[in-house]
Structure 1
Amino acid sequence: MNIFETADQLRRLGVTRGGVLLVHTSFRAVRPIERGPLGLIDALCDVLGPEGTLVMPSWTELDDEPFDARTTPSAKDLGVVAQTFWRLPGVRRSDHFHAFAALGPQAEVITADPLPLPPHIPASPVGRVHDLDGQVLLLGVGHDANTTLHLAELIAGVPYRTPSYCTVLEHGRPTRIDYGENNHCCVRFALADDWLRARQLQAEGRVGQAHARLVRSRDLVSVALEYLSRDPLLFLHPVGAGCEECDEARQTVGMAPFIKNTG
């Protein structure tokens, strides 16, 4: 598929020209597209136009090493499109372990906050996309890859925080920071499909060979908050379901969130 056909699919889906678009994607699901990952990025930028801002996750999995926005690789599970995007000319990348990358007029606003702990608090790239009334595009992936639902969890004040850590440079010395993260398996984020479809808030269609979902960040957070207000543990598998990650999260309920340096 050529870039112009891909761009037309994105327009029909409802990507807003001049808007802010946070993209989570699996190129394996989307391909083949002319020029590969670069062709998909070109199509996204074409639809957004010069007034629009494209955003992608760009965090690393190297938690024992200080982060360098110029050289530290992004996590492999983010996919080849995200790995390609942050290296392109003009793209800004957050200067911290939980980085996102952005290209366009709002890129500096989205990536300028210091290290967010936990990663998806309002003062984070995901939170800034929400502030700017951006859209979230899930391209060949489901809501289990949707970081904006972690933002909703933190706004809702979910009571679980599992131990996490990263390494930063303090006074030129590597320093470990331990913190609590609202982490779990994320499989039950798929509940958002039914919530959004019932309200006609999620556009769905084909982009390349992939199934795509498009939703306003604010709509997604608003609906998730409605359900989390009824059951703050909604996104965790029930006790006895055999999910170790969700069981670990449940065990932290009632414990105080923490952040500490152990340099």
Structure 2
Amino acid sequence: MTTTPSPTVRRSRAGLAEQLSELGVARGGVLMVHASMRAVGPVGGGVRAVVGALRDALGGRGTLVVPSFTPENSDTSPQYLDRVRGLTDREREVLRARMPSFDPATTAAPSMGLLSETVRLTEGAVRSGHPQTSFTALGPLAGDLMAGHRPDCHLGEDSPLARLHEVRAHVLLLGTGFDTCTAFHLGEYRMPSPPRRRYRCVVESGGRRQWWEYEDVALDDGDFAALGAEFARTDGGARVRSGPVGSSTSRLFRLDAAADFAARRLPSLRAGDRVG
């Protein structure tokens, strides 16, 4: 017996915008998006249509934000350590010598996914200046939200995350899980005496490429999936709205609620009080 596969449904920009509005994306709001285009599925017009649908749902007064992180220009990032595993000391030195310095105007963020890169390359986009954890925004609040990202503060009080908290932005996990929820990192900074570590990356200074080392909070997303599952259960799940966008199941929630929950819950979670 043979079976005929069901036809692939190709979504439209207008259809996605309607689903986003039904999920709760509000016109005139500020929205930070983490996206999996594979989960969203086929869309007429591709990733540009998905960006268009997000902007349609937000309207002309809304602002779209995405992470544009660049762990590729660091030799202390997990991505780099994976990349050099098994290489000789000489091979590592050759690789480090070829790593380009960060330029907010041109440096790609391939590990952030196709939607984030499309937003970064869109005319009118504004990018923050951190050499490892920059963000990109489109919309009337883009300049204000991206300003003042201190280079020794990844995701704390002197980063766009704190500005997004102030304006009560929403987070959309577009086909992704809570393990990608950057908002929880702001909660790490707001824990009592969070652990710190050294970071190093390639920057441009005075027209010259150089390595720069600095200290910041030790970021750890290893428990974010469990933290997010608990967050989604609080208030009977009322804080997190879930629904279809394209072929994905997506989640929408307030960034300040997620960051504040993380700040309260992470100390005990990391002390061994695991969620059940």
Structure 1 residue 11, shift from structure 2 partner: 0.5
Distance 1:193 1:158 in 2: 25
Equivalent pair of 2:203/2:212 in contact (CA under 8 Å): yes
Structure 1 residue 104, shift from structure 2 partner: 0.5
Q: Residue 232 of structure 2: SS of its match in structure 1?
A: helix
Distance 1:235 1:15 in 2: 36
User: What letter matches 1:41 in structure 2?
Assistant: V
User: What letter matches 1:49 in structure 2?
Assistant: G
Distance 1:235 1:208 in 2: 38
Q: Residue 212 of structure 2: SS of its match in structure 1?
A: strand
Partner residue of 1:176 out of 193, 196, 212: 212
Structure 1 residue 31, shift from structure 2 partner: 1.5
Structure 1 residue 224, shift from structure 2 partner: 2.0
Q: Report whether the alignment pairs 1:226 with 2:237.
A: no
User: What letter matches 1:39 in structure 2?
Assistant: A
Distance 2:239 2:120 in 1: 30
Where structure 1 has 5 or more consecutive residues not aligned to the other structure, the ranges are 239-263
Structure 1 residue 187, shift from structure 2 partner: 4.0
Closer, same or farther: CA 116–232 of 1 in aligned 2, 3 Å = farther
Q: Report whether the alignment pairs 1:150 with 2:189.
A: no
Greater CA radius of gyration, 1 or 2?
A: 2
Closer, same or farther: CA 235–151 of 1 in aligned 2, 3 Å = farther
Which structure 2 residues correspond to residues 30-49 of structure 1 after superposition, within 5 A? Answer: 30-49=40-59
Closer, same or farther: CA 225–180 of 1 in aligned 2, 3 Å = closer
Equivalent pair of 2:67/2:134 in contact (CA under 8 Å): yes
Distance 1:158 1:190 in 2: 22
Distance 1:22 1:180 in 2: 23
Aligned twin of 2:77: none
Structure 1 residue 54, shift from structure 2 partner: 0.2
Aligned twin of 1:54: 64
| CA deviation vs aligned residue, 1:122-176 (integer Å, no higher than 9, x gap) | 2211221111110001111111111110001101235323432222223333241
Mean CA deviation greater in 120-129 or 143-152: 120-129
Distance 1:185 1:81 in 2: 21
Aligned twin of 1:18: 28
User: What letter matches 1:201 in structure 2?
Assistant: R
Equivalent pair of 1:7/1:43 in contact (CA under 8 Å): yes
Q: TM-score, normalised by structure 2?
A: 0.79
Which structure 2 residues correspond to residues 95-244 of structure 1 after superposition, within 5 A? Answer: 95-97=129-131, 98-157=133-192, 159-173=194-208, 174-199=210-235, 200-228=238-266, 231=268, 233=270
Mean CA deviation greater in 150-159 or 127-136: 150-159
Distance 1:83 1:185 in 2: 22
Equivalent pair of 1:91/1:101 in contact (CA under 8 Å): yes
Mean CA deviation greater in 202-211 or 109-118: 109-118
Question: Identity over aligned residues, as a percent?
Answer: 35
Distance 1:40 1:31 in 2: 10
* Aligned pairs, number: 236
Mean CA deviation greater in 119-128 or 218-227: 218-227
